[in-house]
């Protein structure tokens, strides 16, 4: 896919989820020509076909700075951010292709592919493959989300540049930082397409 990369974002202490994530990824994504960047820490990637971007180990409160440093080394303009504990349960090839085409055509800032209900506030935008694609309302909570999410890299780097913080703080504070100017933030739901293996 043109100008798209997958960033698998992890840390060494979550090594116990890598094999399950990898096996599911290979089963459901093996026929897709998208580069995968392993944005981990000091331990090597589980697959030699992934592009390793090493980083010193960090505490959770430095997560945004770590990820920003790694993303700056990725040449593609759009990034599908995939956190380590989100293990795929089924293929979404058809939906993903349509979503990425829509993302490009409409010059979106981000488009999250949700696997469950959200506390975000939605406004209906369009129907895509018979299901609604939503725009997040101006003052919605969770305008920033690290659920599996297609990001315009410039926008994601802007998010990560605000503060050195944990992913959870970045999501909560991001709801206030990005009210103005209004961004093109969208959501599409495919229930159960991934499952969260680690609950904070």
Mean residue pLDDT across the chain: 93
pLDDT band at 183 (very low <50, low <70, confident <90, very high): very high
State the virtual CA torsion across 166, 63, 18, 34 in degrees, nearest 10: 120
Rounded distance, CA 75 to CA 53, Å? Answer: 12
Per-residue model confidence (pLDDT) at position 176: 83
pLDDT at 80 over 80: yes
In 10 A of CB 12, how many CB atoms?
11
Tokens, residue 59: 């505490």
pLDDT exceeds cutoff 70 at 5: yes
Share of the chain above pLDDT 70, in %: 98
Q: Count other C-beta atoms under 10 Å from residue 168's C-beta.
A: 13
Q: Is the pLDDT reported for residue 199 higher than 70? A: no
Query: What pLDDT sits at residue 95?
Result: 95
Do the Cβ atoms of 102 and 30 come closer than 8 Å? Answer: no
Predicted pLDDT of residue 56: 96
pTM of the predicted model as reported, rounded to 2 decimal places: 0.94
Region 40-47: mean pLDDT is 96
Mean pLDDT value of segment 50-69: 96
Q: CA-to-CA distance for 177 and 35, rounded, in angstroms?
A: 31
Give tens-digit pLDDT for 137-175.
Answer: 988 999 999 999 999 999 999 999 988 999 999 999 888
**Residue 147 · residue 115 · CB < 8 Å:** yes
Superfamily of domain 4-196 in the CATH hierarchy: Spore Coat Polysaccharide Biosynthesis Protein SpsA; Chain A (3.90.550.10)
User: What residue ranges do the domains of the chain occupy?
Assistant: 4-196
pLDDT at 200 over 70: no
Among residues 37, 24, 36, 79, which one has the least CA distance to residue 192? 24
Closest of 57, 25, 70, 86 to residue 160, by C-alpha? 70
Pair of tokens at residue 25: 């990824």
> Phi and psi of 196, rounded to 5°?
-85, 115
| Mean of pLDDT values over 77-95 | 96
Q: Is 144 exposed, middle or buried (0-12, 13-18, 19+ CB in 10 A)?
A: buried
Sheet strands (E) in the chain: 4-9, 36-39, 51-52, 78-83, 86-88, 110-114, 122-128, 131-136, 149-152, 185-189, 194-196
Q: What percent of the chain has pLDDT over 90?
A: 86
- Structure letter (DSSP) for residue 23: H
């Amino acid at each position: 896919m043109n100008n798209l990369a997958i960033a698998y974002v992890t840390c060494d202490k979550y090594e116990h989820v890598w094999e399950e994530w990898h096996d599911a990824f290979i089963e459901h994504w093996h026929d897709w020509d998208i580069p995968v960047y392993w944005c981990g820490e000091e331990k090597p990637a589980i697959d030699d076909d992934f592009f390793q971007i090493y980083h010193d180990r960090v505490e959770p409160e430095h997560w945004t700075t770590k990820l920003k440093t790694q993303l700056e080394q990725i040449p593609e303009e759009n990034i599908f951010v995939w956190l380590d504990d989100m293990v795929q349960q089924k293929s979404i090839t058809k939906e993903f292709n349509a979503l990425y085409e829509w993302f490009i055509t409409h010059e979106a800032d981000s488009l999250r592919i949700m696997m469950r209900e959200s506390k975000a506030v939605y406004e209906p935008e369009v129907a895509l493959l018979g299901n609604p694609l939503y725009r997040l309302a101006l003052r919605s909570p969770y305008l920033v989300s690290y659920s599996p999410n297609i990001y315009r890299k410039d926008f994601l780097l802007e998010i990560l540049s605000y503060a050195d913080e944990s992913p959870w703080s970045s999501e909560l504070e991001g709801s206030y930082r990005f009210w103005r100017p209004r961004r093109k933030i969208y959501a599409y739901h495919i229930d159960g397409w991934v499952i969260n293996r680690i609950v904070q």
